[in-house]
Each structure stands twice: as structure tokens, then as C-alpha cells.
Structure 1
């Protein structure tokens, strides 16, 4: 029998989705599963988007241009301008979700054995797409005890080699909810400029910043405009994960030319998704404010309740809608599996993402989990109570 590729062997399982079969079996047994494992918002999609879907009167669902509908890209130019991100229509390439934007960015910019530096914990798919492009992730590990702030510049410099090609950041961060400061981003800018690196910046959670300060984009960093490759998506801000519409944004002409070759090879991004996404950008300010305020309330509730559970600690996330919590357990992978395969409290259990999957090096994050506060507060209350009961019953509890 022929063997699969080395990439196939090396590709990690998703820490967010790998436990789905266990969750499905739990549900089949009649167990209520509270999903805190995945960033799937439960808030309604804007009505203007739903209306646009109902009003589609096309006779043929044809290919769109490989770089996406021009009308959508024109709207995105105006949207970015609200955040003082000044780009042109030609700087924007529409992708099949933010995931494809990362994948195409890596394929366009990285050769096999090139290295990228990634602050961790980090979104697991960065490693997956790096493996797909043949690149190597060099992690700079942040600490939960320091609130997951950016590690010192010296740690970045220690990782620089002749093969270093870029730095990948997510701001606000998934999975920690950390929001980089101006000082931290200036440090990254200086490293990028000094070593002439790409800066891949995932900014899909920019609407969800809770400090009150203006949002800082990689495009705001002076002197590296042609080094920046911005990753975006409508999935989170409009509760539209399923339409699979994202964007790759860059001023670098060579990157654009390279990316378009990959875009042409995959033909086009989703037509119907683009129509919905374009309509979504007419969502009212009231809609966006309601969504923002809801996450503010959920964040406060979740962090307060987590830190009331004996032995549990979570720093306060300042962005996105996730947090990483440290639990009094021996192994988060075993604990999350046990929750779905063995434990139940009054017919209920909780699904979370083991944080080990957000680190490159094995053994790191073994007592941490990522939780997404994407449930209504009454559901969060039930989920966190069940988590408390689970920790009391878990055989591998450490305190």
C-alpha cells in the first residue's frame, strides 16, 4: 500500500475540532454539551445580510473574479478607512475565509525550510499552513502568569537565522484574547525592518478590543508598509463563519502577483458568500454596538466565574472572545476527552479546546484550555457550573 505524504504525517490535528467525534457520541447518549471549544458566535447575522441572501435573483451562479467581486473590495476600502487603514481596491484579494488568506500568504511568501517566528500560544492553523508550505514555525512562548504579553525582543533576536522569512501575529489574539500594545508592536516593527522580514498580521477580531484605545493595525507601523500581509475575515464580526469570506491585504506588488497565481489556480472565492459579505457592511452602528456590548458582558462574567473556581486562573482578555485558563489538572487533553467520554453532571458536560494544541513544542500548555465566550450568559453560567463540578470529580486533579 502506498504511503501518505510526510506533510500528512506532520499535519497536527485541530485542538478545536479533534474532539468532535466524542462530543457527537455524548450527544447521542442524550448528554447536553456546552460548546466553549470553538469561536462560533451565537449572535444573529445582520438582517441586511439575510435580506441580501433572500433577494438574490441571479439566473446563473457563475465564477467570480479570482481576486473577488470589485464591489465588495470597494466596500472594504471604505471599511478599512474607518480604522485609518489606507489601502486601494488593488491591494485587496478576497479569499475563501481568513484560513485561505493565511494559506495563500504562506505559499506566496515562504519556500520549503523557510522559518517564521510565531508568538505562542497561537491559532493552531498557522502551524498547519506552515507545514503545508514546507515552512518551519519557530515559537516565542508567552506566559499566562504575565497575561500572555509579548516576550522580550531578545527572544525574537535569538531565533533569527538566515532562513527566517517572517513573523506571524494575531491581534487581538486567538486563543488568549491578548491585545498588543503600541510599544510591543513597535518592537515587532523594528525587528521586521532590521531583518527585512514579512509581517503576517491576522486582524479578524479588530472590532472586539476592550481597552477603549484606538485599534492598532500592522498597517499603522511606519516604515514597513511593503512588509505587511494583513489577514482578514467577515466570519466573526458579522456572525458569518459559514459563508467563508476573508481577505488578504498587502501593498507589496510581488506578493500580490504571487498570491493571484494561487487564487487563479483555485478559480474563485464563494460567489454567494461575497454577496452576503458585501451587504453585511451596511449593518447599522447599533447592530455593531450591540454585538460589542454583549461580548463585553460575557467576558466579564466568564472571567469572574472562572477565577472563583478553586485552582483556576484566567487573565483578563482585552480583545477577541476567547481566554486561556489554567486548571488544576494533570493533562488538558486527557481532561477534555474525559469530559466528553466519561463525565456528566445532571445530563450535561462541557467541550473545550486543550491549549496544548496552540503550542508547537510538546508538553507546553498541558494544564491550560481555551474557552470561547460565544454562548448567552445563562448558558455560560450552566457551562461554568458544570466545569466546576467536573474539576471536583476529575481523577487527575492536582490540588
Structure 2
């Protein structure tokens, strides 16, 4: 019989979704499953986006320009220039979700066999996107003991070769929630200029920075215009994950010109999504103030509960809505599956994402788990009670 491709065999499974069959089976057994495995917010989508969809009166659901509609790119320009990015609509390619922004960035800037450096743990799908594009990921470890701060620049330099073409950061970080400081961003700037590297900045969680801390984008750094590509999405900012709408931003004209060819090959992003996206830009600041307050509360509930458990350590993240915690367990993959297959407390259990899937280094993260605080605080507290009871009886506790 015909065989699948080598690339298909090498394509990694999602650590976020691979346990779904076990969760589905737990539900069939009547268990309540608290989903902390995936960054699907329960925050309501802004009413303005929903109204824009409901009030649409078009007669033909047509293609849009491959780079995105001019009206949407103009609205995006308003949003980013309020943040100090100093761009024009010509610096933007609208994409089908942030995922396509990442893949277009990789295909535009890197050849097969080229290397990209990524501090780990990192967003698991970077591995998949790199596999699709025949790009080699060169991971450098960050550590839970210092909250997953940016590794020393000397660690980057150890892995730079003549095939190194880019660095990817996610800020605030998925999966750790770490928020990079201005000093760390300046250090990355100097490194990229020294070795003539692209800096890909995944800014999906830009709006979620806590405790009064400041978000710094490489777009804020002078002298880096030709090196920076920002990859963004409406999914998290507006709690609109199903919209599948993102964008790629750069002031590098060659990157825009080349990236547009990949955008043309897939035709266009959705028309209705861009109509909703235009309305999203007018979302009042009070929406984000309320959301940040809610996520800060949820973070505090989760981190306090985790650090109150025997043998558990969880750093306090500065942004996004994730934590990575270290558990007294033998293997995170086994533990997360055991939680769904064999454990329940008051007929409840918890679905989490093993952190091993967020590392590229073999053997890293075996006792770490990522959790998304996307549930209300009462459910989070119930989930933490359930988790604490599970850790008491898990056969692989160490």
C-alpha cells in the first residue's frame, strides 16, 4: 500500500491536544474534566466584534486581497501605532491566524536546513512549523528556578553557526508566562545585529502583562527595523480563537514582498473575520482593564494553590495566562494521562499539558506541567483541590 511521507512521520503531535481522547473517555464515564490544557479563554468576545458580524449585509462572500483588506490594515495600523510601532498598512500581511504568520515568516526568511534558535520551553507548534519548512530548531534551555528568564547571551552564541538565520521569542511567553525585560530585549537586539539575524517576535499575549510591568517589543528598539518580524493574532487578545485571524508585521520591504507571494499562494484570509477584526480595534480600554484584573486574580489563585502543595514549585508569571509548574512525579506524560484514565476526586479530574512537548531537548521537562488559567476562579480552586489529592496517591510520585 502507499506510504505516508517521512515529513509526516516526523511531524510532532500536539502536547496540548494529544490527550483529548482520554479526556473524552473520562467524560463518557461521567467525570467532570477541568480543562487547563489549552489556551481557550472563557472571557466573552468583545460585543463590537459580534455586532460587526451580525450587522454584515454583503451579498457575495468574496475573496479579499492576499495581503488583507486595506480598511483592516488601516485599522491595524491605528492599533500598532498607539503602541509606538510606527508602521503603515504596507508593513502588514493579514494571515489566517497567528499560525500562518509564523509559517510565512519561516518560509520567507529561512532555507531548508537553516537553523533558528528558540529559548525553551517554547510554544509547541514551533516544532511543527519548523518541520513543515525543513528548518532546524536549536533550543537553549531556560530554567524554572529563575522563572524561565531569557538565557544568557553566551548560551545563544554557543549554538550559532553559519546556518543560523533567526531567533524566535514569544513575549509574554507561552508556555511559561515569562515577560522579557527591556534589558533582555536590548541584549537580543545587540546579538541579532552582531550576527545579522532575524528576530521573530510572537506577541499573541501582548495585552496580558501584570503587576504594572511594561511590555517591550523589538519594534520599540532603534536600529533593528530590517531584522524584526512581529507575528500576531486576535485569538487571545479578543478571546476570538475561532476567528483564525492574525498578521505578520515588518518594516523590511524584501520580507513583505516575498511573504506576499506565499500569501498569494493560499489566496486570502477570511472576509468576515476581517470585518470583525476592524471592529475589534475599537474595543474600549475598559475591556482590557477588566480582563487583566480577572487574569491577575486567576493567576494568584493558581500559583498560591500550587505552591501550597507538598513538593510542587510554580514561579509567578508576569504575563500571558499560563504557568509551568514542577511536580514530584516520575513522568509528566504518564501523570497527565493517569489523571484522565484512572483518577477522580468527587467524580472530577484535571486535564493538563505535559511540559515535555514544549521542549526540543530530549529529556527536558519530564517533571513539569503547563496549565492555562482560563477557567473562573471557583473552577480553578476545585481543579487545584483535585490535583492536590491526585498527587497524594499517584503511583509514580517521587
TM over 0.5: same fold? Answer: yes
Paired residue secondary structure (1:118): strand
Is 1:97 equivalent to 2:104 in the alignment?
no
Identify the residue that residue 34 of structure 2 maps to in structure 1: 34
Displacement of 1:347: 1.2
Q: C-alpha distance in 1, partners of 2:309/2:375?
A: 19
Identify the residue that residue 73 of structure 1 maps to in structure 2: 73
Displacement of 1:52: 1.0
Paired residue secondary structure (2:312): coil
Identify the residue that residue 85 of structure 2 maps to in structure 1: 85
Displacement of 1:83: 1.3
Displacement of 1:214: 3.1
Identify the residue that residue 177 of structure 1 maps to in structure 2: 177
Contact 1:229 1:248 in 2 (8 A): yes
Paired residue secondary structure (2:223): coil
Paired residue secondary structure (2:24): helix
TM-score (norm 2): 0.99
Displacement of 1:73: 0.9
Q: Which runs of 5+ in 1 are unaligned?
A: none
Deviations 1:34-90 (A, max 9, x none): 000000000101111111111111111111111111111111111111211111100
Identify the residue that residue 296 of structure 2 maps to in structure 1: 296
Contact 2:213 2:318 in 1 (8 A): no
Is 1:186 equivalent to 2:170 in the alignment?
no
Contact 1:73 1:94 in 2 (8 A): yes
Paired residue secondary structure (1:107): helix
Displacement of 1:237: 1.0
Contact 1:227 1:252 in 2 (8 A): yes
Displacement of 1:295: 0.5
1:191-206 mapped onto 2 (5 Å cutoff)? 191-206=191-206
Identify the residue that residue 246 of structure 1 maps to in structure 2: 246
Structure 1 stretch displaced more, 372-381 or 6-15: 6-15
Paired residue secondary structure (2:226): helix
Displacement of 1:211: 4.0
Displacement of 1:113: 0.5
Deviations 1:203-257 (A, max 9, x none): 1111111142432111112211111010001110110000100000011111111
Q: C-alpha distance in 2, partners of 1:288/1:141?
A: 32
Contact 1:172 1:206 in 2 (8 A): yes
Is 1:10 equivalent to 2:5 in the alignment?
no
Identify the residue that residue 214 of structure 1 maps to in structure 2: 214
Deviations 1:124-143 (A, max 9, x none): 11111111111100001000
Q: C-alpha distance in 1, partners of 2:33/2:386?
A: 10
Paired residue secondary structure (2:292): helix
Moved over 4 A (4+): none
Is 1:379 equivalent to 2:370 in the alignment?
no
Contact 1:83 1:215 in 2 (8 A): no
Identify the residue that residue 281 of structure 2 maps to in structure 1: 281
Deviations 1:324-379 (A, max 9, x none): 00001000000001111111111110000000000002210000000000000001
Displacement of 1:4: 1.7
Contact 1:177 1:323 in 2 (8 A): yes
Displacement of 1:22: 0.9
Cα root mean square deviation, aligned: 0.9
Q: Count the aligned residue pairs.
A: 398
Paired residue secondary structure (1:225): coil
Q: C-alpha distance in 2, partners of 1:31/1:71?
A: 47
Contact 1:36 1:352 in 2 (8 A): yes
Identify the residue that residue 118 of structure 1 maps to in structure 2: 118
Q: C-alpha distance in 1, partners of 2:274/2:23?
A: 32
Q: C-alpha distance in 2, partners of 1:2/1:87?
A: 49
Q: C-alpha distance in 2, partners of 1:7/1:87?
A: 37
Q: C-alpha distance in 2, partners of 1:211/1:192?
A: 30
Identify the residue that residue 55 of structure 1 maps to in structure 2: 55
Q: C-alpha distance in 2, partners of 1:189/1:6?
A: 37
Q: C-alpha distance in 2, partners of 1:165/1:31?
A: 48
Q: C-alpha distance in 1, partners of 2:253/2:294?
A: 40
Q: C-alpha distance in 2, partners of 1:107/1:187?
A: 26
